[in-house]
Structure 1
Amino acid sequence: MSISPILQAKNISLLTKIHQNHLLDNISFDVNEGEKIALIGGNGAGKSTLLKVLNHLCTSSKGDLYFRGKLVHHWDVLKFRRQVMLIPQESKLLGMNVKSALSYPLQLQSLSEKEIQTRLIYCLQEFNFIESWLEKRENELSLGQKQLVAIARAIIMQPSVLLLDEPTSALDKGNAHWLREKLQVWNEEKKMTIIVINHDLEWVKNFAQRVIWLDKGRIKKDLSAKLVDWEMIEKHLLTLNQEMNIDEDF
């Protein structure tokens, strides 16, 4: 018996409103439950845009997105986003302290105070947060701490799919390694499906099972991470990003 994909993108295109340029162009792929996928590509390739479409934060101009075999627009949007969580590169606590930022989404689900406390304790343990962190506000946290709180806020919701946009951009090498190991554990223990963008190809190489390479809004390659020529990709992306920087200077 075949296993149905947890997410399916079918012929997804997204056009800019003014010039009708393609941000995404005829994107199709299936995501199986428990997969660890990395999206790679140069600046402007459409990686972050694709994550937003997968989270239904922006709607495609053409094509269909399915979650657990059902069209996403047939899902209640809040229930869907609790299952398919997006962690953008820059997340805000919206003026809350850490405890409120973590517990507020749970309160919206009308969970019991006991369940909320259980999940808060779990986050403290999983993320090695000290209890004094809970009272800290956004302006008292470093960029790396904010990034970890944003990830904790997603994990506390117990999603089926985690979408991460540059989750290590503000982390030092030690914390980036720690996060990769934690994601591996959550993937194995909770069967959590993870799709990640990370410019650190060494990090990606040690995490992903599958790599989807985007170029100008299209899928250039979709293959097992074991088959990736990482040296070639690193050289290609370096050249591509240098060319884009030259264009911006002019």
Structure 2
Amino acid sequence: MSSELIRYKDICVDFHGSCLFSNFNLTVNKGDKLILKGRSGSGKSTLLKILLGILHVDDGEVFYRGRKISPSNIWDIRKEIAYVSQDTDIGEGIVKDLINEIFSFDHNQGRKYHRKRNSLLEYFGLDRSIVYKKFEDLSGGEKQRICIIISVLLGKEIFLLDEVTSALDLELKEKVVDFFLENENWTLLVVSHDNTWDRVAMDEVFVDGCEINA
């Protein structure tokens, strides 16, 4: 049985009249851990958003588990993928209430997460009392870690990580990197300028303009 999860086939994207991608090809198999490299504005984050149906291609096709991504199946695809962005604006209010709201959604109900939540808080250097604070009052680094914890609690195995360590100190960056790499079954597509990711054995995909093939 094929282990292919994601395939970008001959992707072309124009952005404000300029070519961002032309004939971009990339295959991601189960368990792959890929870091997307390239200059700022080269389209690394765009590739993640295309997979989620947030942005669309001008030409080419994107496949998930062998099925072409379309409006009719994009919501089912999103249920299987955890997307963590450097934009941590996930809402306002008490952290505990935000988490409970996420797990009240139909496709998340039934997950037992409270015990695991506490162990993840400890691992990522957060006191348990943080769940009683307002999310909007947290520091940038605290917000990033809460978003990471939520993504893990959702129990998914495909992670799109977009600059998720940008607000963390070196020790915490290393904990995040180690955490995501230790699970062989997880599939990672990472966008990051942090050289902490460079210290580990990850396959690199260079994204830098048109006519890119990987």
Structure 2-normalised TM-score? Answer: 0.89
Please name the residue that 1:96 is paired with: 93
Q: 1:37 to 1:138 in 2, by over 3 A?
A: same
Please name the residue that 1:29 is paired with: 26
Q: Secondary structure at the match of 1:127?
A: helix
- Contact 1:38/1:208 (8 A) holds in 2: no
Matched, 1:127 2:92: no
1:71-110 mapped onto 2 (5 Å cutoff): 71-73=68-70, 76-109=73-106
Q: Secondary structure at the match of 1:126?
A: helix
Q: Which runs of 4+ in 1 moved over 6 A?
A: none
- Contact 1:161/1:194 (8 A) holds in 2: yes
- Contact 1:102/1:152 (8 A) holds in 2: no
Structure 2: runs of 5 or more not aligned:
none
Normalized per residue, the structure richer in helix is 1
Please name the residue that 2:173 is paired with: 176
Aligned pair count reads 211
Q: 1:43 to 1:111 in 2, by over 3 A?
A: closer
Matched, 1:144 2:130: no
- Contact 1:14/1:22 (8 A) holds in 2: yes
Q: 1:106 to 1:207 in 2, by over 3 A?
A: farther
Percent same amino acid at aligned positions?
A: 25
Deviations 1:142-188 (A, max 9, x none): 10010111111211222231011111100001100110111122x32
Letter in 2 for 1:73: S
- Asked which structure has the greater CA Rg, the reply is 1
Deviations 1:118-137 (A, max 9, x none): 21321221231433111222
Distance 2:174 2:117 in 1: 18
Cα RMSD (Å) of the superposition?
A: 2.0
Q: Secondary structure at the match of 2:131?
A: helix
Letter in 1 for 2:13: L
Matched, 1:216 2:209: yes
1:4-23 mapped onto 2 (5 Å cutoff): 4-16=3-15, 18-19=16-17, 21-23=18-20
Q: Secondary structure at the match of 1:212?
A: strand
Letter in 2 for 1:108: F
**More RCO (CA 8 Å, sep 6+):** 2
Structure 1-normalised TM-score? Answer: 0.77
Structure 1: runs of 5 or more not aligned:
223-250
